[in-house]
Structure 1
Amino acid sequence: MLILDDATLHIWRHDFATVSRWVPEPEACLAPDEHARAARLRSPEGRAAFVWTRAHLRVLLGAYLGCGPLDIAFEPGAYGKPRLAGSAEDRGLVFNVSHTGGAAALAFARDTALGVDIEAGRPHRDLERLAAFCLAPAELAVWQGLAPDARPAAFTRLWVCKEAFVKATGRGLALGLTQVVVDPVLDRYGGVPADYGPARDWRLNTWESMGYRMALAYRGPERTLRFFDCAVDGPGSGL
């Protein structure tokens, strides 16, 4: 069983090759509605990403709660963001998931707003247009002042930080990425929408792993962050 206290956050990164070592039959971990959702996805890659990531989520939640993957039940929370359905004790465990290409990040904590994002470091076709769409004016000015070869990495960092925040709120892109301002150097938010309190109430962590940029956003006091990679860690690793 995995232990997670109120002062700690866990984040797991997997790629679909390594996670298959300890989730060998992901389809067997899914509920009927999840099988139906997977079947509706037209892209084979998108289907595989959904199946592997949802199976991984269920296995890890089961390890935290001491139950089987199919004992986990979800319900929509605020703005449709998935959360655990069940006892009050179970509801204290919160999670968020992001996947891109062949990798995923899954974050777990207790009693906080939590969001995670992972992006591959691939070039965007129209970076200038995308930057104008999602960066606040001050962010855009700083970004445009960078050397051209530094802009892609800087943009990806800003993007994952903003995505992590809007996912923590449950609002997603509907919140408006320009309303979330990220410090150009430090891991902190310079401004957030008024409905979500002062920016100083939010914590931000960013890092890179295996060619992916990730960000984790959560609300409240600083917590200890533990990072696990499925290439070496699994739910039976005694953490």
Structure 2
Amino acid sequence: MSETRYTGRVTVGGPAQVHELESLMISKVAVGPMDNNAYLLRCRATGEQLLIDAANDAGTLLTLIGDDGIASVVTTHQHGDHWQALAEVVAATGARTYAGREDAQGIPVPTDVPLADGDVVTVGEVALTARHLVGHTPGSIALVYDDPHGHPHVFTGDCLFPGGIGNTRGDAGHFGSLLHDVRTKLFDPLPDETWVYPGHGRDTTLGAERPHLEEWRERGW
């Protein structure tokens, strides 16, 4: 499937959508329990695979992974809807587990590699940079792929969506922290063309959301 045909619109029980980049294939699938998105990344040079958020529906995820297995699985944050299939996927694949250092204790599957801001996670020859975004949870992370053949791609978990940042449950301090981190670690260094893959719902770009940053700050959510 060509890049121009990828829309990022997926539904629970429906097929995955595949975003084909020169060095990386990104398969997006929707699973339970709350229309969660899971992303399978495959290095085109080596065939190595990495899964982002084993949220639910282990059978769906293992079918997507296929016989090649996965080398690693990254959990974007500790909320239960993002790791309900993690134990089964890890048991079936032997994958290394990654999560933000501050969230690792809240995930019932042991984290092999706790991540801090700026740490690099590799899938084959492809490098992803972890950005620590505080507010939705203490240890939420986004993963940034700075595609040398095109624009960047960022997997934001529940920290950034079309129309706003993640839920901070009315806590002004958490909201201010998350908005600050999203602004300084994603919007400031990355261009408008950056493609955003969130933990739920449809994709967006930083360019589509950038004009609304001040609006988000003023409304407080």
TM-score (norm 2): 0.29
TM-score (norm 1): 0.27
Q: Answer 1 or 2: higher relative contact order, Cα 8 Å, separation at least 6.
A: 1
Larger radius of gyration: 1
- Of Structure 1 and Structure 2, the greater helix share is in 1
